[in-house]
A and B are shown apart, each in its own frame.
Chain A
Amino acid sequence: MNLGNVRRGVLAALMASAVVAGASAAELPIRIGAPLPLTGALSPEGVKLQQGYELWKDTVNAAGGIAVGSVKRLVEIVYYDYQSMTPKAVQLAEKLATDDKVDFMFGPFGSGASKAASTVAERYAIPMLAPTASSVEVYDQGYKNLFGTFTANDTLSEPMADIIKAKAPNVKRVAILARNDLYPLALGQEFEKSSKKRGLEVVYFEKYAINTLDHASALTEIKAAKPDWIIATGYINDLILIRKQMADLGIKAQAVTMINAPAYQEFIDATGTLAENVTTATWWHPAVRYESKDVFGSSVKYSEMFQKKFNALPDFTNATGSSVGVVLQMAIERAGSVDRDKVRETLVKGGFDTFFGPLTFNGVGQAISYVPPVIQIQGGKTVVIYPEVIKGGDLQLGVR
């Protein structure tokens, strides 16, 4: 999928919706503001989210739009590129609220930017659905307009630590290398807690700076600490480099966990055989099996529709992009109105059965209602190893 195709897709979708809109010009579309990192370091993720949004929007509009009481209203998404710069995301959220006067907003990418932009949403009382904010720190400001579809970071570290404890009793020593950034660092700290809770010894815990081009020193120290389980957090470029340099230094371990990247096909393509047996956790995977009452019908159907449109299997970032759309749609339909207060009330009540999983939010707006799957790369493919009901294989030990 390249940007050119995305642009063409967006254009085609816009033209299509314009035609449909012409037919029922009486009702104005529901406008949703979406600041995204379409260029810059986070652009791969930004493009993935946009694909998720677009699939939801096109599916809804093809069905005539969102049912608001007795009328159907089309969806229009107003995109801005914040170039992977958080301050710009905040400015653009402000512009969406005051200048474009959108009805609702989707959050920018990642915990840090979501927390920053949620301040704008709160000030203008616009419900903001955050697709990729998992750190609990994002939700600690007591805001009433922020709703995130990712469960907290400890829902990734806890099951992983459980599996390691159960399947790899020889694992005693843990090394953690975390990117010094809101979400990756918070996640690293959760892994530290989860490890200690199970009596594992954390022999190394260090942070690395954003844009680090070399991890050899940290990894040399990790090697000297002789860990059985190595955990690295960061984004895709960091983790490709770390995995490569682990091999450069001849580091072997019983288990290697990397979050967030191995769930993406790009990671497997870029690391080749080094990806083998790397474990990761993620909030969604094409293997999950949820029946839903949303516009997609089920996770399986969602994957099919995504594949038809983009010629690739959806990953969790694509899926969470669509998930914020379906939750907003269900909330509007239940409220029977686009009145922000009424929609906010239905969001607070929760109980949305979506293809992404059952979604209900806690008191501060973070999803608490589903179990994120644990994944391992086996034979160049992502295989779900937890939870039991959807697993496609068991944990394999040994990363070399």
Chain B
Amino acid sequence: MLYVQILINGILLGGLYACIAVGFSLVWGVLNVINILHGSFIVLGAYLAFFAYTGLGIHPYLFAPFAALVLFMLGYAVQLTVINRVIEAPVLVTLTTTFGLALLLDNLMLVVFAANFRKVSLKPPLGVIDLSDTFPSIDLIVPVDRLASMLFALVFVALLYWLLRHTVVGRAIVAVRMDRYAATLMGVDTTKVFAVTFALGAALAGAAGALLSPIFPISPLAGTTYLGKAFVICVLGGLGSVSGALVGGLVLGVLESFGALFFGPEHSLTLSFTVLILLLIFRPNGIMGKRGFV
């Protein structure tokens, strides 16, 4: 029963991880931009949700689309005004640019929101589904807020998947992902596609932030932790695909959970990083890695 509970914990955590990583993976895969801002975007989404809940009483799950919208606009503006200027430069230049922007945003949040740790405490709390209440022999428990956050995150991921498959913009993004020069020749406005892609990545970060706000403490500098996870997940799952982020997230969540059980909580990361290194050696494209988005 302990193993089943750990597996449930791992899958729930993995779902949250996937939701952290999917926007990052999209931007990296399509634009070849390692967006260091991604973690800070998640934190900004979480703060927006926090103030929407404490100030206006809007539930974070209801607020998630609005957080996505705000971050979409911010992401579009950032891409159009800053990143598009250096998009053709080597990856190190865009990386440094987004790193600088992340420092800026982090410190701005530090000044505006102060360094205090906050968290959305839902009133009333969503509680847990305790299976032993109905089946006394099954001692398993599922926290409802984690489950709900994960399911809502999956809805956003499904929306992204649908958008990429069935809309003109989506097909253009996929086309650019496959071959940006061929796409230009076919009449795709790559500048606009870049901006929309980056904005979509930011929107997913914003939604993720809102969905995570009842779960993790919020502080201006939490972005780096999220970013680190997104990195690992992308390499684990394979870059630039929705399914890759999902699989990468779930694998990392389950690995960390069992790693903590078998090797002690202080070594849960050791196991996941060992697997990461092995994958880099033997399967550098990741578990689901292949060219072409979706």
Contact = CB atoms under 8 A, between A and B. Distances in A.
A208 B116 contact: no
Interface residues of B, number: 48
A41 interface: yes
A102 to B, nearest CB: 26
Given A214-B13, A217-B9, A271 B115 contact: no
A220 interface: yes
B192 interface: no
B215 interface: yes
Nearest to A42: B115
A215 B145 CA distance: 16
B180 interface: no
A137 interface: no
A220 B5 contact: yes
Contact of B265 (A177, A236, A249): A177
B278 interface: no
A3 B114 contact: yes
Interface stretch (B41-49, B120-128, B159-167, B282-290): B120-128
Interface in B219-237: 219, 221-222, 225, 229
- Mostly, the A contact residues are helix
A243 to B, nearest CB: 10
B216 interface: yes
A297 B65 CA distance: 55
Given A44-B117, A240-B217, A217 B128 contact: no
Interface residues of A, number: 43
A247 B125 contact: yes
Contacts of A224: 2
B6 interface: yes
B261 interface: yes
Interface string A10-50: 00000000000000000000000000000111011001000
Contact of A270 (B111, B118, B145): B118
B214 to A, nearest CB: 9
B141 A209 contact: no
A217 B257 contact: yes
Contact of B216 (A41, A209, A241): A241
B100 interface: no
A61 B23 CA distance: 54
Contacts of A43: 110, 115, 221
A220 B6 contact: yes
Contact of B141 (A249, A272, A274): A249
Interface string B122-165: 01010010100000000001010110000000000000000000
Contact of B117 (A250, A270, A273): A270
19 contacts: A2-B111, A2-B112, A39-B110, A47-B114, A209-B266, A209-B267, A209-B268, A213-B216, A214-B13, A214-B253, A216-B257, A217-B257, A217-B259, A217-B265, A224-B2, A237-B117, A248-B145, A272-B123, A273-B121
Interface of A: 1-4, 39-41, 43-44, 47, 177, 180, 206-209, 211-218, 220-221, 224, 236-237, 240-241, 244, 247-250, 266, 269-274
Given A217-B257, A220-B6, 6 more contacts: A3-B114, A209-B267, A218-B265, A249-B9, A266-B118, A270-B118
